[in-house]
């Protein structure tokens, strides 16, 4: 991680909101569902699928949790009504995970069942380490209910992840595998860049070995190359690559042109500012990447 990356991340809180909005604009569909619909339609026209995320995990009341769940219901209705090739991703803290586990489980089950009725899928996002046990327990509960249109996210930088894969083996889970962006203690997470990379490859191999359909979520070219070598014998419906909206768009297009399925993560919502600050501060390297990309766009327009 460079000094530039750290400097960009640390400076963000004093940067005017208007500037943060311009910086983050390529990476967030917008504030409204209509913004997300247009973004997904554009991605679909380019041969890419999408997963839609409603921003707003920072909630503290039952009413707020129900409001987020209702918005996801609207997203599912839009996907069906517009015939979009998209699924939804949910953060369980946005559905009450931190203050009412029963409410959270009930709301996510309702969403999974509603999605299943229209042939859509739900991906349960993984958050910081304090959420992992409860998130995995809810995922297992849903699968025990016979709900197969739900997937989970695992983070390669957590030292526990290979054990979690082994524990989930009999479910042949649909997993989005990412490096992980949350800053965790060294006791539970790998911090060395190369060690995280090696862990990612080991987790990918373990998931493929147990028959999982893996969503390979990374922008790291080294990991893309390693992953391509490991999925080359799989059918196109046996895996997919996932990237964030606005990040390495050219590489995503190359993967599509080569016949690989690519899904783009499309966040939207009125909490764009909080999302932007939190994500960029949690991952200074991404802050640097985005800052460089923004400068590159400006230079390209000049």
> Is residue 127, in this structure, part of any structural domain at all?
yes
pLDDT band of 14, cuts 50, 70, 90: low
Q: What pLDDT score does 137 carry? A: 98
C-alpha closest to that of 196 among 158, 242, 153: 158
Active site residue 6: no
Domain assignment of residue 258, given as a range: 29-268
> Is residue 81, in this structure, part of any structural domain at all?
yes
The dihedral through the CA atoms of 191, 192, 193, 195 has a sign that is negative
Rounded Cα distance between 257 and 261, Å, is 9
> Is residue 249, in this structure, part of any structural domain at all?
yes
238-259: pLDDT as tens digits: 999 999 999 999 999 999 999 9
C-alpha closest to that of 86 among 221, 268, 278: 268
Q: What pLDDT score does 295 carry? A: 47
> Is residue 34, in this structure, part of any structural domain at all?
yes
DSSP SS3 for 245? coil
Active site residue 134: no
| Number of structural domains in the chain | 1
Q: What pLDDT score does 5 carry? A: 58
Catalytic residue among 5, 125, 164, 197: 125
**pTM of the entire predicted model:** 0.89
> Is residue 279, in this structure, part of any structural domain at all?
no
133-187: pLDDT as tens digits: 999 999 999 999 999 999 999 999 999 999 999 999 999 999 999 999 898 999 9
Catalytic residue among 37, 105, 143, 176: 176
pLDDT band of 297, cuts 50, 70, 90: very low
227-236: pLDDT as tens digits: 999 999 999 9
Average the pLDDT over 69-74 and give the result.
Answer: 98
Bin 37: left if φ > 0, else alpha if -120 < ψ < 50, else beta.
alpha
Q: What pLDDT score does 181 carry? A: 87
Query: What are residue 97's phi and psi, to 5 degrees?
Result: -55, -40
The dihedral through the CA atoms of 30, 33, 132, 104 has a sign that is positive
What is the average pLDDT score of the chain? 90
Q: Which two tokens stand for residue 7?
A: 């400097």
Rounded Cα distance between 9 and 37, Å, is 30
C-alpha closest to that of 132 among 99, 176, 179, 93: 93
Q: Which residue would you say has higher pLDDT here, 23 or 269?
A: 269
28-56: pLDDT as tens digits: 999 999 999 999 999 999 999 999 999 98
pLDDT band of 272, cuts 50, 70, 90: confident
CATH number at residue 217: 3.20.20.220
Rounded Cα distance between 225 and 220, Å, is 9
pLDDT band of 301, cuts 50, 70, 90: very low
């Amino acid at each position: 991680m460079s000094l530039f990356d750290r400097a960009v991340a640390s400076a963000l809180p004093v940067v005017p909101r208007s500037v943060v909005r311009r910086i983050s604009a390529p990476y967030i569909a917008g504030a409204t569902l209509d913004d997300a619909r247009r973004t997904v339609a554009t991605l679909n026209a380019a041969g890419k699928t999408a997963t839609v995320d409603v921003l707003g995990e920072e909630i503290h009341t039952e009413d707020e949790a129900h409001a987020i769940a209702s918005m996801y219901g609207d997203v599912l209705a839009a996907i069906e009504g517009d015939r979009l090739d998209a699924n939804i991703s949910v953060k369980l803290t946005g559905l009450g995970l931190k203050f009412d586990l029963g409410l959270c489980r009930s709301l996510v089950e309702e969403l999974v069942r509603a999605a299943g009725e229209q042939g859509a899928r739900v991906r349960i996002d993984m958050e910081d380490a304090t959420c992992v046990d409860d998130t995995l327990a809810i995922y297992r509960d849903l699968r025990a209910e016979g709900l197969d249109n739900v997937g989970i996210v695992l983070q390669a930088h957590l030292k526990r992840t290979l054990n979690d894969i082994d524990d989930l083996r009999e479910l042949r889970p649909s997993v989005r595998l990412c490096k992980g962006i949350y800053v965790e203690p060294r006791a539970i997470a790998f911090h060395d860049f190369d060690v995280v990379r090696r862990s990612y490859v080991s987790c990918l191999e373990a998931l493929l070995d147990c028959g999982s359909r893996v969503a390979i979520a990374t922008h790291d070219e080294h990991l893309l190359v390693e992953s391509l070598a490991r999925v080359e014998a799989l059918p196109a419906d046996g895996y997919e690559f996932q990237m964030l909206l606005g990040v390495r768009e050219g590489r995503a297009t190359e993967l599509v042109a080569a016949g690989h399925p690519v899904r783009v993560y499309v966040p939207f919502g009125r909490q764009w500012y909080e999302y932007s600050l939190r994500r960029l501060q949690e991952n200074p390297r991404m802050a640097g990447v985005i800052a460089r990309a923004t400068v590159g766009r400006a230079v390209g327009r000049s």
